[in-house]
Structures are given as structure tokens and as C-alpha cells.
Amino acid sequence: MNKILLVNIEKPDQKNIAKYRERGGYTALEKALAMQPADIINEVKTSGLRGRGGAGFPTGMKWGFVPTNAGKPTYLLCNADESEPGTFKDRILMERDPHLLIEGMAIACFALNCQLSYIYLRGEYEFIAHIMQRALDEAYEAGILGPSIMGKDFALDLHLHLGQGAYICGEETSLIESLEGYRGYPRIKPPFPATHGFLASPTVVNNVETLCALPWIITNGAAAHAAIGTEKSKGTKLFSVSGHVNSPGVYEVDMGYPLLDFINNEAGGIPNGRALKAVIPGGSSVPVLTAAECDGVLLDYESLLKAGSMLGSGGMIVLDDSTKMPEVLSVIADFYAHESCGQCTPCREGTGWAAKILRNLVAGKGKRADIDLLLKIADMMEGKTICPLADADVMPIRSFVTKFRSEFEALCAS
């Protein structure tokens, strides 16, 4: 198994810049600064790196959309708003290897000619903000950030910006809107952030994990990265696994690793002698898989899609056979109702309505017709909204209700 991201994660002093450098830190940045920005972008394209926030969009291609002659500054924004239920991988990276993120961001900024960059960190991670800020201060002191980074004629300012509690701000246009100082309402696309993002300027929003993969790619080369993983899903992926497992935590595996192996080996299997009932492989926004559906599924974008789910953020939640699926769905539905920004009709009304119906069902006050009503609400929301939050509610609703329908029906009196 390859280690790209969690190489030094167990080392307690990894946060210290001197130790970071001792272990090879910032040599990738040095190498990148001697390259041409266009070549760096090509390396990232060839590496096959895909966005690790959940969308899986090819990173190099995203960078390639940024015009170099816009006459406006380019902004690189790090999406550290990790709020997808089940996901805690970015947290580990920032908590224990903050300089890895800084190095990754500096490489990206140099490649994109961005001289003012922000880490949009979810407000709840305030304790990580302290760690991140100390690392940033160390980086400035060491000349890694500032008016001429590592002695090169390139200035880079990198600031921490804290959110204040809004899952929707993990959506890139909502993040930009929130960074601009407004309510985090997602924006209509087109135009896309690549041409009109932060302050109407070219902007790239990348996830923490994506940016942390860059130093390894620069050091070891795109080909080495592309040699890991599957045909279309290159490199490694962090999976945060929780729920009914013996060893919950964050694990790095090669793309294409079998899902059931992951649950039984890395995650330590299911405790208390219980059996696997269902898995949410990539955060609450992706369809749930029954235990049977997990057979032969690999942890990569394509295999999970083929199995009827998605890789998403890699926030895996494992459910054993004691789990009451309608109750889990009700918890999830409450989440989307609470986090819907309220801007557009189908999501605002649909998420709220679905959550209420589920609460009723779970309390034993529902009717059979409510189950079909849930599916109807899902259909009414899907594909009609400004951003995919509604779709993120649709996936669990549809998959839970269709795959575990008998449990829902059992809750109904008639």
C-alpha cells in the first residue's frame, strides 16, 4: 500500500517546521519553484489527480480552465470546510501535518500565479485554526511565505479564514460567496469560478486532501502517481471510517482497494459478533449500499458508481444488523433540512418536508402513503436546484427507502 498523504502523520512533532523540513518537507516546493508554471499544471494533469472533496473532477483540468490573461488576479482557495457527515480526513491532515497543506498550496499558487490565497476553514475546527496559524507563522518566518518565497521572485500571502457553521459553504460557489462576506448562497453557473470566482476574478477551489497530494507528485513525478490506483482513479485516497467498526479512523489506501477488505482489515471488522447490514461509502450524500451490494466493489470512483453509489468524500459509515435504517435516514434528512441555505424552492421546501415526514414515520405516526411521498419529493427535488445539496438529500432518501422499504412499512400502522 502506498503512502502519499499520511507518511508522517503519526510523528508528534510533524507540526514543527524544522522537523517537517528534516523529513524532506518543502523540497517539493523548491523543485516546483524552479519549474515553469505551465509544466507544473501539466504534471498535475498527467498525474491523474482528481478532486478529493467529493466531486472527483480532474485537478489539472480544473487548473487548465483558468485564463492566464484575464487582467485580474487569480485566487487559489483551499476548501477546508469539511462538513460532510462521516468525513474527518482533512481534519487529520491539518491537525497533524499542517505544513503539508501549506506546501501543497504554495505549489498550486505558483502554478496558477496566485499571490493571495485563503484557507476557508470550517469554524468548528477552531482548535485546528490555532495549529494552522502557528504553522503559517512559522512558514512566514522561514520565508516560505511572504514577499519572495524561498528567495524566489514570487510573493505569496496565505491567510486563514474561518467559516461560522454552514455545511453549504463547502460547495465552491457558496464558499466564494461566503468568503466575499455574504450569506453562503451558491451561485448560478455559468459563469464558472475559473473565470468569475472570488471578486469576479479567476478562482480555483481545491480540497485539503487534493492540495496535500501535490508535494509527493512534484517530488516523485506524475508517472509515479499515475502508476498507483486504477485506470481512471489514480493515486491513493483517505477514507475516514466510523460507525460499527472496531478501528474507526482515517486510513490511506490505493485507489481500487476492495471495500470489504477495507472494512474487515483496516477498519478492524464489525464488533460484537454482528454482521454487516449496510455501508454509506462516501459521506451521507451518497446512496447507501446493502451488505450484498458491497460484494466485489472496489474503492475507486468508477467501481462505486457502477455499484449504484459514489466515492464522494470517502467518509465511510458502516452499519451493522442492529441498525434501524429509517432512523438513520431521519437523522440524515434532519441534517439536510438544517443545512439547506434556503435560496431555491425545491431544496428549501423539499428537505424540510422530507425531514418532517421521516420524523413522523420514526415516531410511528406515519402512513404507508408517506413512503411513496418521500420518493415523490426526491423526484421533485432532483436536478432542479442551483447547487447539488438537494441531490445530496435525494440520494440517501431514494436508496434507503427503496433498499429497506420493509423497515419503513413496518413503522406504519396501516
Partner 1 sequence: MIQFSEEATRRFQTILSHYPEKRAALLPVLTLAQREFGWISQEVSEYLSELMGYPPSDILSVATFYTMLHKKPVGKYHMEICRNVSCWLMGTYPCVDEIKRQLKVDVGEITADGKFSWNLTECLGSCGTAPAMQVGDRYFETLTPAKIIEIIEKLANE
Partner 2 sequence: MPKFTLNGVELEAKEGQTIIQAAMAAGFEIPHYCYHPDLPIDGNCRMCLVEVEKMPKLPPSCTTVVTEGMVVRSNTDRVRQSVQGVLEFLLINHPVDCPVCDQAGECRLQDYYMVYGLHTSEIPLEMKVRKRKVIDLGPMVVLDQERCVLCSRCIRFFDNVTHTGEMQFFGRGDHVAIGTFEDRPLDNPYSGNVVDICPVGALTSRDFRFKCRVWFLHSTDSVCGGCSTGCNMRIDHRDGTIFRLLPRRNVEVNRSWLCDEGRLTHHEVAAGDRILRPMMRGRDGMQAPVTWKEAVASVNSRLKEIAGINGGDAIIGFASPSATNEALFLFKRYLGEQVGATQFEFRIDSEDKKVTEEEDEILRHVDKHPNSMGAINLGLMSQELGGIDRAIESARAGRIKAGVVIYYKPLVERPGDAQAEARIAELIGALEYSVVLAAHKADWQREASVLLPVTAWSEESGTYTNYQGRVQLASKAVEPGGDILALWEVFASLLYESGDGLLWLSPDDVFASLAENTPAFRGIVLEQTRLPGALPTP
Binding of partner 2 at residue 296 (CB under 8 A)?
no
Binding of partner 2 at residue 368 (CB under 8 A)?
no
The site that binds partner 2 (CB under 8 A) totals a number of residues, namely: 29
d(CA 84, CA 389): 11
The answer to whether 154 touches 37, Cβ cutoff 8 Å, is no
Nearest Cα neighbor of 317 from 344, 288, 296, 352 is 288
d(CA 370, CA 190): 37
List b or e across 227-255, with b for residues whose CB sees 16 or more CB atoms inside 10 angstroms. Answer: ebbbeebbbbbbbbbbbbbeebebbbbbb
Compute the least distance from the CB of residue 164 to partner 1, in Å.
Answer: 4
Residue with smaller CB distance to partner 1, 64 or 249: 249
Q: Which does 340 bind (CB under 5 to 8 A by kind): partner 1, partner 2, none?
A: partner 2
d(CA 391, CA 393): 5
Q: Which does 124 bind (CB under 5 to 8 A by kind): partner 1, partner 2, none?
A: partner 1
Q: Which stretch binds partner 2 (CB under 8 A): 104-112, 224-232, 265-273, 341-349?
A: 341-349
Q: Which residue has the cell 478529493?
A: 52
Q: Which does 241 bind (CB under 5 to 8 A by kind): partner 2, partner 1, none?
A: partner 1
Binding of partner 2 at residue 334 (CB under 8 A)?
no
The footprint of partner 2 on residues 371-390 (CB under 8 A) is: 373, 379-380, 383-386
Binding of partner 2 at residue 123 (CB under 8 A)?
no
Q: Which residues bind partner 1 (CB under 8 A)?
A: 73, 82-88, 90-91, 116, 122-127, 129-130, 157, 159, 161-167, 178-184, 199, 240-244, 248-250, 280, 284, 315, 317, 319, 323, 328, 331-332, 334-335, 338-339, 341
- Please tell me whether the peptide bond between 190 and the residue prior to it is cis, using omega within 30 degrees of 0: yes
Q: Which does 335 bind (CB under 5 to 8 A by kind): partner 2, partner 1, none?
A: partner 1
Nearest Cα neighbor of 80 from 240, 207, 239 is 207
Q: Which stretch binds partner 2 (CB under 8 A): 109-117, 126-134, 352-360, 405-413?
A: 352-360
Query: Which residues fall within 8 angstroms of residue 216, CB to CB, at 6 or more apart?
Result: 4, 5, 28, 225
Query: Which residues fall within 8 angstroms of residue 147, CB to CB, at 6 or more apart?
Result: 155
The answer to whether 2 touches 249, Cβ cutoff 8 Å, is no
Q: Which does 162 bind (CB under 5 to 8 A by kind): partner 2, partner 1, none?
A: partner 1
Binding of partner 2 at residue 178 (CB under 8 A)?
no
Binding of partner 2 at residue 346 (CB under 8 A)?
yes
Q: Which stretch binds partner 2 (CB under 8 A): 101-109, 120-128, 201-209, 343-351?
A: 343-351
Residue 308 burial (C-beta neighbours within 10 Å; 0-12, 13-18, 19+)? middle
Residue type, 106: A
Enclosing H/E stretch for 249: strand 249-254
Per CB under 8 A, residues contacting partner 2 are: 166, 183, 188, 337-346, 348-353, 356-357, 360, 373, 379-380, 383-386
